């Protein structure tokens, strides 16, 4: 007996349905594993930081601040992964935050190295300029990006996933 197809249905649809579902399930599994790994990495960094903090000197404090900011970066990377698992729309905000945190982290490290006298003045000025410039650009990007999102909501435009249909 020959199977009949609806007017809008393509003949190969049934053949592809099961592998596509399998791939979506695999995608969710990989995202869950990535999320768990990111949390494990953040916890490992925190434990390492606590264990390595032995003396109360400038180098230990500098290393602690550096590692705590690294944990913040790892946790910000976790947000897009969780958004995918919750089937939420993609947003650039976590990546903008990572860029800002990374730049602030670098400024703190360079400032600390400069204060203890182990940094070249010309390299210091260049790194500070690049880091501050990056922060300013990311703040502008963040404002424009979120302003566009607010305007889209205010105008009653459908979200990006509904526009494609």
Q: Where are the domains of the chain?
A: 14-88, 89-165
Residue 136 pLDDT: 97
Can you give the pLDDT at residue 89?
86
Cα–chain-centroid distance for residue 158? Answer: 25
Phi and psi (nearest 5°) for 135?
Answer: -65, -45
CA-based nearest residue to 48, from 57, 35, 37, 60: 60
Q: What is residue 155's predicted lDDT score, i.e. its pLDDT?
A: 74
**What is the CA angle 36-91-100, rounded to 5?**
80
Question: How many CB atoms are closer than 10 A to CB 100?
Answer: 20
DSSP state of 1: -
Contact 139, 100 (CB under 8 A): yes
Q: How many helices (H) and strands (E) does the chain have?
A: 5, 0
The answer to pTM > 0.85 is no
Q: Residues 31-67, buried b or exposed e (16+ Cβ, 10 A)?
A: beebbeebeebbeebeeebeeeeeeeeeeeebbeeeb
- Please list the rounded mean pLDDT of every run of 10 residues in the chain (165 residues): 50 74 91 96 95 81 87 93 90 92 89 77 88 96 85 65 50
CB 127 within 8 A of CB 110: yes
pLDDT of residue 101: 92
């Amino acid at each position: 007996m020959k199977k009949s197809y609806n007017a809008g249905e393509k003949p190969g649809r049934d053949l592809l349905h099961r592998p596509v579902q399998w791939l979506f399930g695999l995608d969710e599994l990989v995202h869950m594993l990535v999320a768990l790994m990111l949390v494990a990495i953040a916890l490992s960094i925190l434990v390492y930081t606590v264990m390595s903090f032995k003396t109360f000197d400038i180098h230990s404090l500098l290393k602690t601040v550096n590692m705590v900011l690294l944990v913040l970066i790892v946790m910000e990377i976790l947000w897009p992964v969780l958004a995918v698992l919750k089937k939420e729309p993609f947003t650039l905000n976590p990546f903008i935050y990572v860029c800002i945190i990374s730049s602030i982290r670098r400024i703190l490290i360079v400032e600390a190295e400069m204060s203890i006298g182990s940094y070249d003045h010309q390299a210091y000025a260049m790194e500070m300029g690049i880091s501050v410039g990056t922060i300013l650009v990311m703040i502008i990007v963040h404002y424009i990006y979120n302003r566009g999102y607010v305007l889209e909501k205010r105008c009653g435009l459908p979200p990006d996933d509904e526009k494609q249909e």
